[in-house]
Amino acid sequence: MIGVLALQGDVREHISLLESLGANAFGVKTLEDLEAASGLVIPGGESTTISKLAVNFGLIDAIRNFVATKPVLGTCAGLILLSKGAIGALSDQQLFGGLDVTVERNAYGGQTHSFEAEVEFATGSERVAFIRAPKVVDIGSAEVVATLEGEPVAVRSGRVMGASFHPEITGATTLHKLFLESI
Ligand code: GLN
């Protein structure tokens, strides 16, 4: 049972992608939902909004505990929320942590600079979408999972994985396959 944090963002698309790979997936909005999940996907959207909603819904501590103990995948805003530090974050913005990386919000450009590109995984390349995407500016002790023009665009620290891009928009499956393998 894979939870997809359903406070904001591409929730349905991630659920479909996980189901197409044979997993059971459902939206997570409450503490009870989170307890039922054996892994969690944090979708892209707006990291400031997702963190505010996580505080308002009383989920912030439970998500931090989840990230410390179970497999989590964050994409785009999800990567920002899983980082240990985010350049351009609001001064009161809460992060979940879990990935030993620092990111810079919107470093791949604003909405009008959105683009699709082939990113390189160890298993081959895949087309994905970058939308107001964050860049990994300090990779710390994290492992590189995918690159774009030699720069890390998907990273992993143990059970926690994050990507700058949206795989669900182009239907790219590698990231979700790697995530499901870690569960
Ligand atoms: N720029 C957004 C943020 O800071 C992330 C964009 C996205 O998830 N597509 O949260």
3-state helix, strand, coil in the chain (%, to 5): 30, 30, 40
> Do residues 18 and 25 make contact, with C-beta atoms less than 8 angstroms apart?
yes
Alpha-carbon gap, residue 125 to 147, rounded angstroms:
9
User: Which residue is it, tokens 């998500």?
Assistant: 63
For residue 3, give the amino acid letter.
G
76 lines ligand 1 (CB under 6 A): yes
Confidence check: pLDDT of 111 > 90: no
Alpha-carbon gap, residue 125 to 108, rounded angstroms:
19
Closest ligand 1 atom to Cα of 47:
10
Segment 65-85 mean pLDDT: 98
pLDDT tens-digit series, residues 37-74: 999 999 999 999 999 999 999 999 999 999 999 999 99
Segment 168-182 mean pLDDT: 96
Exposure string over 151-166, b if 16+ CB within 10 A, otherwise e: ebbbbbbebbbbbbbb
Which contiguous run of DSSP H or E holds residue 161?
A: strand 160-163
Predicted confidence at residue 112, as pLDDT, reads: 87
Q: Closest Cα partner for 63 from 41, 87, 89?
A: 41
Name the percent of the chain lying above pLDDT 70. Answer: 100
SS3 per-residue string spanning 130-170: ECCCCEEEECCCCEEEEEECCEEEEEEECCEEEECCECCCC
User: Which residue is it, tokens 């998907």?
Assistant: 154
Q: How remote is the CA of residue 21 from the centroid of ligand 1, in Å?
A: 25
Average pLDDT across the chain, whole number: 96
74 lines ligand 1 (CB under 6 A): no
Structural tokens at position 157: 């620290």
pLDDT band at 172 (very low <50, low <70, confident <90, very high): very high
Confidence check: pLDDT of 110 > 90: no
With H, G, I as helix, E, B as strand and everything else as coil, classify residue 14.
Answer: helix
Which contiguous run of DSSP H or E holds residue 32?
A: helix 31-36
Segment 108-123 mean pLDDT: 94
Q: Choose the residue to mutate in 5, 52, 79, 80 for probing ligand 1, maximizing ligand atoms within 8 Å of C-beta.
A: 80
Predicted TM-score (pTM) of the model is 0.97
Q: Does domain 2-181 have CATH number 3.40.50.880?
A: yes
Alpha-carbon gap, residue 153 to 105, rounded angstroms:
13
pLDDT tens-digit series, residues 2-16: 999 999 988 999 999
Q: Closest Cα partner for 42 from 110, 95, 106?
A: 95
4 lines ligand 1 (CB under 6 A): no
pLDDT band at 174 (very low <50, low <70, confident <90, very high): very high
Confidence check: pLDDT of 165 > 90: yes
131 lines ligand 1 (CB under 6 A): yes
Q: How remote is the CA of residue 28 from the centroid of ligand 1, in Å?
A: 19
